[in-house]
């Protein structure tokens, strides 16, 4: 490393017109997201693991198809089977959602961010928009690729679906939206919690632990609360006839609205806290 | 120009900054001095709008940081070393800042060159040493070519060459007419770099003055005297109008008489002198005297427990 004499800095300064805007922050957040290697890894892993688990599930079903009694194939939903990997993919995209926010606080780079853009709600908006866009692309890719690969592996004699199969497109697209919303849900949790470990634990707790704990409640109470669990909303999406399972649940689209509602509420709370708290 | 008025901040019950008022003017390097934990970093964060004061107000060029149109073009700050995502390269760290404030991308290469990080610009910042992290922080501060610059302990982790480079940089930035505010807990460092000093202790302003004035106040001359008959000499000196202080090491510090006068007096009284040394109080000592009552964390002398002493005996 060489030490150079300080260069003379241009004395006259020409400021751009107006003031920094959301477009500037979108560019900045885009650079941030894509300039960290772990982001790229995590995004790739979301698709890869989602796809891989789905492929294993479909290959497994196909290979045992003939050895199973025919009545066991009644109500078989090939679409749902090919989307099995989403249960793992949701954890990976959730961790990324948490990290996008918590890493800024953990490393202290949030101070550089707020120094460049002291209007914090604008920063949060840009972050949500950029991560949301990337998460949506990756989520849709995961859902549709899993579906196509899974269906290709479910060759005859197993039945398979196409996008024109009744309910299939709804299941695939709905699952993609679910994955995208889970990513944003995780980001909004991290806006409130700020610490990586705490936010990830909370995220995993809400997604996986809480539904199990709730089973200890009296069944009437359980049935009243369970439909509101993000995991239940996800399971409902993967069912051709969601309301025939005997358990109470929202219809798929209402479920996604509820999940989106959680995210919006958490983001508003997180945004208010971001403005009020010291960075 | 930075103006703080009655700035107050507490974290829970702990008062970090207490009714702090000062002005930092352009064209000079202003040192921000105080012992560790005296509220320097908190004050810097309040200037940058990162922490909200509980009372009082601070403005940069007459405006609150929050209201700046292009913050990085107006204020640059090095707040803490390595406040950088470890997975991001130096160049990308600067790029994301440049994009947020529409700073020309060629400026990134310029500042990398200024701080001497050009050759490692694409390396991940997580691999950087503390000194390199400081340099990247300085590069980020210079990125928008701002009029006002804040540096929180910029020489931490730098090697002697780096320290000299920072001194030169700070001075040249001030010479260009910028407002330069540098915190340090080392008076000796500020004596070499700063023109003005704002000295705080326990979050309170002790004094805002020029380094020149501080030097004039503190460079009090005194004479160290040693003699087998110190008591006689002392009473004679006292009677002659000098101020004498017995030191712990058995010597006598004399103020108000120079070494010639003391020597001549001793000769008249036929007192043997072992030592007659002119001394001057350093700026560091002046600083210590000023902040003594407000040091947050005292190191205690090493004391040997009685039981251990007995064993030794």
In the predicted structure, residue B86 carries a pLDDT above the cut 60: yes
Of the CA atoms within 13 Å of residue A123, those in its CB half-sphere come to 27
Of the three residues B216, B237, B263, the one that is the final residue of a domain is B216
Total number of domains constituting chain B:
2
Q: Are B125 and B93 in contact (CB under 8 A)?
A: yes
Q: What is the Cα–Cα distance from A18 to B228, expressed in whole angstroms? A: 78
pLDDT in tens, A124-155: 999 999 999 999 999 999 999 999 999 999 98
**Contact by Cβ (8 Å): B55, B8:** yes
- The predicted pLDDT at position B295 comes to 61
Beta partners for residue B222, in sequence order: B279
Q: Report chain B's mean pLDDT, rounded to a whole number.
A: 89
Which residue has tokens 């198809």?
A: A65
Q: Which band of pLDDT confidence, cut at 50, 70 and 90, is reported for residue A6?
A: very low
Does residue B293 sit within a domain? no
How many angstroms away from the CA of A255 is the closest CA of chain B? 36
pLDDT 10s digits, B218-253: 656 788 999 999 999 999 999 988 888 888 888 998
Other CB atoms within 10 Å distance of the CB of residue B35:
21
Q: Where are the alpha helices (DSSP H) in A217-276?
A: 219-225, 230-237, 252-276
* A164 close contact with B: CB closer than 8 A: no
**Same domain for B158 and B260:** no
Within a 10 A sphere around the Cβ of B122, how many other Cβ atoms? Answer: 10
Residues B50 and B197 in one domain: yes
The pLDDT of A202-216, averaged and rounded, is 93
Q: Is residue B290 part of a domain?
A: no
Q: Closest Cα of chain B to A194: distance in Å?
A: 15
CB pair distance less than 8 Å for A1 and B120: yes
Strands B243-246 and B275-280: unpaired
Q: What is the 3-state secondary structure (H, E, C) of chain B?
A: CEEEEEEEEEECCEEEEEEEEEEECCCCEEEEECCCCCCHHHHHHHHCCCCCCCEEEEEECCECHHHCCCHHHHEEEECCCCCCCCCCEHHHHHHHHHHHCCCCCHHHHHHHHHHCCHHHCCCEHHHCCHHHHHHHHHHHHHCCCCCEEEEECCCCCCCHHHHHHHHHHHHHHHHCCCEEEEEECCHHHHHHHCCEEEEEECCEEEEEEEHHHHHHHHCCEEEEEECCCHHHHHHHHHHCCCEEEECCCCCEEEECCCHHHHHHHHHHCCCCCCEEEEEECCHHHHHHHHHHHHCCCCCCCCCCCHHHHHHHC
Q: Are B228 and B274 contacting, i.e. CB atoms less than 8 angstroms apart?
A: yes
Cβ neighbours of B154 in A, within 8 Å: none
Give the residue with greater pLDDT, B293 vs B176: B176
In chain B, positions 99-128, which contact chain A (CB-CB < 8 Å)? 99-102, 110, 113-114, 116-117, 119-120, 124
The alpha carbon of residue A192 and the mean position of all alpha carbons in its chain are separated, in whole angstroms, by 17
Percent of chain B with pLDDT over 90: 70
Question: Testing the interface with A: which of B26, B101, B132 to mutate, by most A Cβ within 10 A?
Answer: B101
A243 CB near a chain B CB, below 8 Å?
no
Instruction: Show Cβ contacts of residue B220 under 8 Å, excluding neighbours closer than 6 positions.
Output: B255, B280, B281
Chain B CB within 8 Å of residue A3 CB: yes
Residues B294-310, mean pLDDT to the nearest whole number: 53
The CATH number covering residue B266 comes to 3.30.70.100
Q: How confident is the model at residue A246 (pLDDT cuts 50, 70, 90)?
A: low
d(CA B241, CA B257): 8
| Phi and psi, residue A164, nearest 5° | -90, -5
Q: Print the domain residue range for B273.
A: 221-280
What percentage of residues in chain B have a pLDDT greater than 70? 90
Same domain (yes/no): B187, B236: no
Q: Are B152 and B238 part of one and the same domain?
A: no
Full-model pTM: 0.85
**Same domain, residue pair B195 and B244:** no
Backbone φ and ψ for B292, nearest 5 degrees, come out as -50, -45
Q: Which element (helix H / strand E) includes A206?
A: none
d(CA B77, CA B70): 14
CA distance A139 to A43: 9
For the ranges A6-15, A94-103, B119-128, B133-142, which has the lowest average pLDDT? A6-15
All residues of chain A having their beta carbon less than 8 Å from the beta carbon of residue B147 are: 13
pLDDT digits (tens, 9 = 90+) for B275-293: 998 887 667 777 777 777 6
**Which SS3 state, helix, strand or coil, does residue A42 take?**
helix
Place of tokens 């004399």: B254
Does residue A112 contact residue A201 with C-beta atoms inside 8 Å? no
Gap from B5 CA to chain A (nearest CA, Å)? 20
Same domain, B129 and B207: yes
Query: Which residues have a Cβ under 8 Å from the Cβ of A232 and sit 6 or more positions away?
Result: A211, A226, A249, A255
Q: Which class for A129: exposed (0-12), middle (13-18), buried (19 or more C-beta within 10 A)?
A: middle
Pick the range with the lowest mean pLDDT from A49-63, A231-245, B243-257, B258-272: A231-245
3 state SS of A118: coil
The CA distances from residue B184 to A84, A97, B41, in Å, are 58, 38, 10
DSSP A207: I
Judge if B191 and B248 occupy the same domain. Answer: no
More confident residue, A16 or B73: B73
Return the DSSP state at A12.
S
Instruction: Give the pairing of strands B221-226 and B55-60.
Output: unpaired
Shared domain check, B250 and B140: no
Average the pLDDT over A71-99 and give the result. 92
Alpha carbon separation from A136 to A93, A97, A149, A181, B65 (Å, rounded): 10, 12, 20, 8, 35
Q: Output the domain CATH number for residue B35.
A: 3.40.50.300
In degrees to the nearest 10, what's the CA dihedral of B132, B135, B136, B138?
160
Q: A7: which DSSP letter?
A: P
Look at the block and give the residue holding tokens 């009685």. Answer: B306
pLDDT at B221 (0 to 100): 74
User: Can you tell me the distance from the alpha carbon of A213 to that of A230, in angstroms, rounded to the nearest whole number?
Assistant: 14
Same domain, B25 and B93: yes
d(Cα A82, Cα A154) in Å, to the nearest integer? 9
Q: Are B221 and B190 in contact (CB under 8 A)?
A: no
Structure ipTM: 0.89
- In eight-state DSSP terms, residue A66 is T
* Residues A16, A206: Cα–Cα separation, whole Å: 46
Sole residue written with tokens 């509980």: B54
Separation of alpha carbons A107 and B272, rounded Å: 65
- What phi-psi label fits residue B188: left (phi over 0), alpha (psi between -120 and 50 degrees) or beta? alpha
Predicted local confidence at residue B66, as pLDDT: 96
Q: Are residues B31 and B170 in the same domain?
A: yes
User: Please, what's the b/e burial string for B256-273 (b: 16 or more CB within 10 A of its CB; e: otherwise)?
Assistant: ebebeebeebbeeeebeb
What distance in Å separates the CA atoms of residue B49 and residue A117, rounded to the nearest whole number?
A: 10
Residues B78, B39 share a domain: yes
Q: How confident is the model at residue B297 (pLDDT cuts 50, 70, 90)?
A: low
Q: How far does A205 lie from chain B, in Å, by closest CA? A: 27
A13 — pLDDT class (breaks 50, 70, 90): low
Please report the pLDDT score of residue B279 as a whole number: 81
Q: Are B127 and B232 within one domain?
A: no
Q: Which residue of B has its CA nearest to A25?
A: B100
Contact A108 B50 (CB under 8 A): no
B283 vs A: CB within 8 A: no
Query: Does pLDDT of A245 surpass 70?
Result: no
Contacts of B67 (CB under 8 A, 6+ apart): none
DSSP string covering A147-178: HHHHHHHS-TTS----TTSTTHHHHHHHHHHH
Domain boundary pick from B168, B196, B216: B216
């Amino acid at each position: 490393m060489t030490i150079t004499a300080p260069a003379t800095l241009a004395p006259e300064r020409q400021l751009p017109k107006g003031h920094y805007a959301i477009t500037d922050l979108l560019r900045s957040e885009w650079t941030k997201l894509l300039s960290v290697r772990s982001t790229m890894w995590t995004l790739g892993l979301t698709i890869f693991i989602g796809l891989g688990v789905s492929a294993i599930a479909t290959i497994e079903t196909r290979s045992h198809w003939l050895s199973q009694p025919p009545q066991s194939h009644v109500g078989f939903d090939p679409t749902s089977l090919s989307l099995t990997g989403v249960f793992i993919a949701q954890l990976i995209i959730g961790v990324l959602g948490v990290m996008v926010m918590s890493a800024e606080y953990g490393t202290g780079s949030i101070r550089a961010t707020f120094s460049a853009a002291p209007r914090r709600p604008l920063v949060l908006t840009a972050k949500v928009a950029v991560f949301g866009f990337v998460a949506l692309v990756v989520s849709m890719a995961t859902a549709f690729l899993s579906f196509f690969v899974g269906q290709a592996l479910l060759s005859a004699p197993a039945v398979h679906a196409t996008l024109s199969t009744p309910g299939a497109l709804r299941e695939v697209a709905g699952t993609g939206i679910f994955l995208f919303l889970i990513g944003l849900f995780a980001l909004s949790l991290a806006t409130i919690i700020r610490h990586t470990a705490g936010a990830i634990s909370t995220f995993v707790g809400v997604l996986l632990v809480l539904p199990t704990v709730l089973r200890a409640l009296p069944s009437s109470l359980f049935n009243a609360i369970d439909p509101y669990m993000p995991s239940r909303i996800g399971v409902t999406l993967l069912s051709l006839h969601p309301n025939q399972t005997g358990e109470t649940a929202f219809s798929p689209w209402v479920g996604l609205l509820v999940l989106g509602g959680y995210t919006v509420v958490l983001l508003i709370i997180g945004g208010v806290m971001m403005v009020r708290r010291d960075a | 120009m930075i103006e703080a008025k009655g700035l107050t901040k507490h974290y829970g019950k702990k008062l970090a900054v207490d009714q702090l008022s000062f002005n930092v003017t352009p064209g000079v390097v202003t040192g921000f001095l105080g012992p560790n934990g005296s509220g320097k970093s908190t004050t810097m964060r309040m200037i940058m709008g990162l922490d909200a004061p509980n009372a009082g107000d601070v403005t940069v060029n007459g405006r609150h940081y929050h209201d700046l149109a292009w913050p990085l073009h107006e204020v640059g700050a090095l707040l803490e070393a390595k406040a950088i995502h470890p997975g991001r390269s130096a160049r990308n760290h600067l790029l994301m800042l440049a994009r947020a404030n529409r700073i020309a991308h060629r400026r990134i290469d310029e500042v990398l060159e200024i701080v001497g990080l050009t050759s490692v610009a694409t390396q991940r910042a997580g691999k950087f040493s503390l000194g390199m992290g400081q340099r990247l922080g300085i590069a980020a501060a210079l990125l928008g070519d701002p009029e006002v610059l804040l540096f929180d302990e910029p020489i931490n982790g730098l090697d002697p060459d780096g320290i000299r480079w920072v001194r030169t940089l700070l001075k040249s930035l001030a010479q260009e007419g910028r407002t330069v505010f540098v915190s340090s807990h080392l008076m000796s460092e500020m004596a070499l770099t700063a023109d003005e000093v704002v000295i705080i202790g326990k979050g309170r302003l002790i004094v805002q003055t020029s380094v020149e004035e501080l030097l004039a106040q503190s460079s009090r001359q005194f004479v160290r005297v040693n003699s087998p008959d110190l008591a006689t000499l002392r009473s004679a000196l006292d009677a002659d109008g000098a101020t004498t202080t017995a030191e712990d090491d058995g010597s006598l510090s004399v103020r108000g008489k120079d070494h010639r006068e003391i020597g001549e007096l001793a000769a008249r009284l036929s007192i043997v002198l072992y030592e007659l040394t002119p001394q001057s109080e350093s700026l560091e000592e002046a600083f210590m005297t000023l902040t003594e009552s407000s040091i947050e964390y005292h190191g205690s002398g090493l004391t040997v427990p009685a039981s251990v002493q007995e064993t030794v005996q």
